[in-house]
Structure 1
Amino acid sequence: MAARQTALVEALTAGRSVPEGIDGSAFEAARVALLRKRAGEVARQWPMLAAGFGNRWKREFATWAATRPTQGSLRDGWDMARSLVARGELPAVAAAELAEREAAWHYDGTTAPRSRRTPALSIKAGALAVQLGGRVHVLRRP
């Protein structure tokens, strides 16, 4: 039973194949609902990232997240923003948001983010943020 449950969860959250004996249409409805819920949670953590896509946000996020298990809304948004930077597709309004996070927090893409204790500088897609004394200042926006 545990193996079947694991297979179902992996299919719903990580793009694995639908387990045998599961109704395909019900499965797809559940998968889409989970991706929409996840998109909403990420949008609360990353409002400018979501705003950069406007009405396309849920679709863009679902496309990105379909084969990635969740790491939590903060990390999911961070990972998505970084992948968009790598492709040169980060919306301009989200650049300062990402630069601020990168200046304030250390996140290696694997472990949970932790606050920086030393001064830091971050430049992302034309935005420049500096962290000094625990405060982040955005000096340039794209």
Structure 2
Amino acid sequence: ACCVMDARAGQVYNARFRLTPEGPQRLCGDRALKLGALAEEIGAAAQILVGDGAHLCYTKLKQECPGLRMAPPHLLYPSGYGVAMAAQRVFADGQAVGADALREQYLRAPQAERERLCRLAQENGG
């Protein structure tokens, strides 16, 4: 499976997984990747797309990647149930943490922050 989110500018945030009887097995870390690089990586392999960038990837890459398939509508987007099922596995493995230990992970700074830093650099002669 390939989880994708539209990152704009011809990129997607994604991670790839192998589906096993024990649950999804991560094949790579979270990353921002150009669509062309993702197409090269997938090639003709069977791949199920999930996430809000799934339609974008399928539309842009279906010719290059004939094994692409969209997840069924009820599994296409993240849900509270999916989060709970993932948490249950982590809890069962004794790896649970309190909510105060959870942190967001940005693959790149939000656009507003990038624009603010650019504006500050221009103001400071950079």
TM-score in terms of structure 2 length: 0.23
TM-score in terms of structure 1 length: 0.21
